[in-house]
Structure 1
Amino acid sequence: MAPYTELDTTLLSEVTSIVQTAGATLRERYTQHARGTALDEIVNEIHANDDAVLAVMREPLLEARPGSRWAEDELAGGALPEGEWWIVDPAEGNINHVHGMPDWGVTATLVRDNQPVLTVVDLPLTGDTYTALAGQGAHLNGAPLRVSAKTDLGAALVGTGQAKPGEDVSTFRKIGESVTAMLVNGLVVRVSVPATLQLIHIAAGRMDAFWQFSDVRSGLVAGALLVREAGGTVTDIHGTPWTLAGSDFLAAAPGIHAAAVKVLGPLA
């Protein structure tokens, strides 16, 4: 296993190229109308998107980091065995893509010993690519990103969303209660999917906090690294440093993080 110190801008450049190529594949499949009406038709469209994108990115990513492994289930959560793993969402926001909406992209994150160390998020419709390398900052098309400087939760634009279909009723209840609590304590609450497309707004300072009652790795690792490298705070709902083993997630501008924990913590 090559040491972490060899993760450098050369690898990041290679991964960026791979993810952008994958993004172009997903863009070719995009329509501005919804595809499928019955549930099985929608699921088939989602799987077809995944298969088409993985066909052009899986092997190149594994070859780019010899010895790395692939986290197969994009809806899985929890810690991984030690070593380097690719956590990829070939169509982050796939449900939006098949419904003709523009909020989707492609993500690839290299995780080492359960810590995200390199990530690329490509948004093919806008031509924007978000990147981060541990200890070297977060960037949008090469320009540095910085989280919001807000200190008042009452002035904050915050967000959450559903991590995956079929969550249990208690999770849905917590989502609803948290939205109500933040509607009372924040300025405006967004509820949307996918998580990564809210987290890039946190990293860029456009939004101020995002939380989720879920451990789905593929929707959190890319944004966690981007937010952290942009100067944000990434914890669980109770304010403890976030790990892949956690059951919930909070990313926020440092100036409102404590206030967000105070509101959300009792609900978790």
Structure 2
Amino acid sequence: MSETFQTTGAAVSDAELLDRATSAVRTAGSALRERFGDVVPYETRDELMRALAGNDDAALDILRPVLTELRPGAGWVEDELDGGALPDGEWWVVDPVEGNVNHLHALPEWAVTATLVRDNQPVLTVVHLPLTGETYTALRGGGAHLDGRPLRVSPTADLGLGLVATSQARPDEDEEVVRRVGSSITAMLFDALVVRTAVPATLHLVNVAAGRIDAFWQFAGARADLLPGALLVTEAGGRISDAGGRPWTPQSDSFLAAAPGVHTQAVTTLSR
């Protein structure tokens, strides 16, 4: 159900906010598509960070003014790698180039995302894939959609027949997380049909919401790469938890999104 809130002078529903945010995200995607092409060379970490920041800034120059005007009282999450709970109130959680390193390497797996979070609950999200033109949207209580078409998670009820995926949350993870990721992939290789491993997380999660992938898990993680997919999967009828089956929050140290028919089996596998 769409709620109504005051912006600059007029009451705007969450559904209207979603429409306007979607337009801004698509415009940012067009700007990034113009920057996409050859592999961007770099020889040092500083050069890599400057190249990543150049892409981020190209998108943020479009997104920040529009989203700020839509919700002038909302906070803004500056670092897409940040995790944990947010203070109460409204926040825009934006990843201007989800999969930025792929963009720099001329790989197609990248997106632009914007999510409005209210009291630590995502209420609307947009995920746009500029190279395919696909736009995934979700509104709390209003369902998940791909270019206006409703999404539903997979009906698969046997993990042994399932396609599952995981992702590296961030570079330079500590040793405990790295080892946990490795052991979980090994466990899933035994129990699932096929295991996919790639970044970014959001592109796996839109596939869970669309019924193309049966489960996705990740250890650690940031708000920007999990909140959009969490809302999309939930609104498409999927189940969200941590890897142990407990309710997921931004403070959790793991994340699992799955079709209901394989969720319990995935928890069992990841809890070994």
Common topology (TM > 0.5): yes
Please tell me whether residue 9 in structure 1 is matched to residue 15 in structure 2. yes
Please tell me whether residue 25 in structure 1 is matched to residue 36 in structure 2. no
Q: Deviations over 1:35-74 (max 9, x none)?
A: 3243332221111101111111012101112311101111
Aligned equivalents of 2:136 and 2:27: distance in 1? 15
- The residue correspondences of 1:1-150 to structure 2 (distance < 5 A) are 4-6=3-5, 7-150=13-156
Tell me, what secondary structure is at the counterpart of 2:115? strand
Residue identity opposite 1:144 in structure 2: P
Please tell me whether residue 175 in structure 1 is matched to residue 181 in structure 2. yes
- The residue correspondences of 1:149-228 to structure 2 (distance < 5 A) are 149-228=155-234
Aligned equivalents of 1:193 and 1:171: distance in 2? 16
> 1:4: Cα distance to partner?
4.3
Partner of 2:9: none
Tell me, what secondary structure is at the counterpart of 2:108? coil
Please tell me whether residue 237 in structure 1 is matched to residue 238 in structure 2. no
**Residue ranges of structure 2 left out of the alignment (5+ in a row):** 6-12
Q: Deviations over 1:162-199 (max 9, x none)?
A: 11111101111011100000000000000000000000
Residue identity opposite 1:194 in structure 2: P
Tell me, what secondary structure is at the counterpart of 2:271? helix
- For the aligned residue pairs, the C-alpha RMSD in angstroms reads 1.3
Aligned equivalents of 2:75 and 2:106: distance in 1? 33
Residue identity opposite 1:106 in structure 2: V
> 1:25: Cα distance to partner?
1.1
Q: Is the 8 A contact 1:18 1:57 kept in 2?
A: yes
Tell me, what secondary structure is at the counterpart of 1:220? helix
Q: Is the 8 A contact 2:14 2:124 kept in 1?
A: no
> 1:5: Cα distance to partner?
4.4
**Residue ranges of structure 1 left out of the alignment (5+ in a row):** none
Residue identity opposite 1:207 in structure 2: I
Q: Is the 8 A contact 1:78 1:215 kept in 2?
A: no
Tell me, what secondary structure is at the counterpart of 1:162? coil
Q: Which moved more, 1:49-58 or 1:200-209?
A: 49-58
Number of positions where the alignment pairs a residue of Structure 1 with one of Structure 2: 264
Residue identity opposite 2:253 in structure 1: S
Tell me, what secondary structure is at the counterpart of 2:229? helix
Residue identity opposite 1:38 in structure 2: T
Aligned equivalents of 1:226 and 1:5: distance in 2? 21
Aligned equivalents of 1:29 and 1:62: distance in 2? 25
Q: Is the 8 A contact 1:32 1:101 kept in 2?
A: no
| TM-score of the two chains, using structure 1 as the length reference | 0.96
> 1:245: Cα distance to partner?
1.7
Q: Which moved more, 1:13-22 or 1:26-35?
A: 26-35
| TM-score of the two chains, using structure 2 as the length reference | 0.94
